Amino acid sequence: MPMAPTGMRLVLLAIAGTLLIATGCRAIREDEGRPRGDSRSEEEKVQRGTPGYSAQMEIPSQPVASSAATGWDSERLWSRHVDWEPAIAADPSAPYVYQLTTRYHAPACHGCGDPAIVFRRSSDGGRTWEADSYLDPVPGSQHDPQIEVASDGTIYAVYLHRLRPGVVLQKSSDLGVTWTPPVVLKDAGGPRWSDKPWLTLSPDGRDVYIAFNSSDSYVAASRDYGRTFETPVRTNQDQRHWFHSGGAVAPNGDVYFTAVDYSQNYRGVSHINVLKSIDGGASWTTHRVDTSQEIPACRWAEGCYRGFLGPSATLAIDPVGTILLAYHTGDRPGGPQAMWIRTSTNGVDWSSRRRVSARPDRVNNAFPAAAAFDRGDFRLVWQDDRRSSRDGWNTWYRSTADGGSTWSRVARLSDVGSGPSYRDKNGYRFPYGDYLEIAVDQNGMNGVIWGAGESYDGNGGTWFTRGR
pLDDT for the residue 24: 39
pLDDT tens for 257-294 read 999 999 999 999 999 999 999 999 999 999 999 999 99
In terms of pLDDT, which residue wins out, 8 or 434?
A: 434
Banded model confidence at residue 10, pLDDT cuts 50, 70, 90: very low
pLDDT for the residue 47: 55
pLDDT tens for 314-334 read 999 999 999 999 999 999 999
Distances (CA, A) of 75 to 393, 456, 465: 14, 21, 5
Q: Show Cβ contacts of residue 237 under 8 Å, excluding neighbours closer than 6 positions.
A: none
Q: Are 235 and 283 in contact (CB under 8 A)?
A: no
Q: Are 58 and 215 in contact (CB under 8 A)?
A: no
Whether residue 165 is preceded by a cis peptide bond, meaning omega within 30 degrees of 0, is yes
pLDDT tens for 217-228 read 999 999 999 999
Average confidence score pLDDT of the chain:
90
CA atoms within 13 A on the CB side of 336: 18
How confident is the model over 280-309, as a mean pLDDT? 95
Q: What is the DSSP letter of 113?
A: -
Q: Are 431 and 414 in contact (CB under 8 A)?
A: no
* Among 29, 30, 61, residue whose Cα is nearest residue 127: 61
* Among 172, 273, 258, residue whose Cα is nearest residue 211: 258
Name residue 216's amino acid: D
pLDDT tens for 362-419 read 899 999 999 999 999 999 999 999 999 889 999 999 999 999 999 999 999 999 999 9
How confident is the model over 40-44, as a mean pLDDT? 39
242 forms beta bridges with 261
pTM: 0.91
pLDDT for the residue 44: 39
CA pair distance 364, 190, nearest whole angstrom: 36
Which stretches within 90-223 are classed as H helix? none
Q: Are 197 and 146 in contact (CB under 8 A)?
A: yes
Banded model confidence at residue 302, pLDDT cuts 50, 70, 90: very high
Domains and CATH numbers, the chain: 6-467 (2.120.10.10)
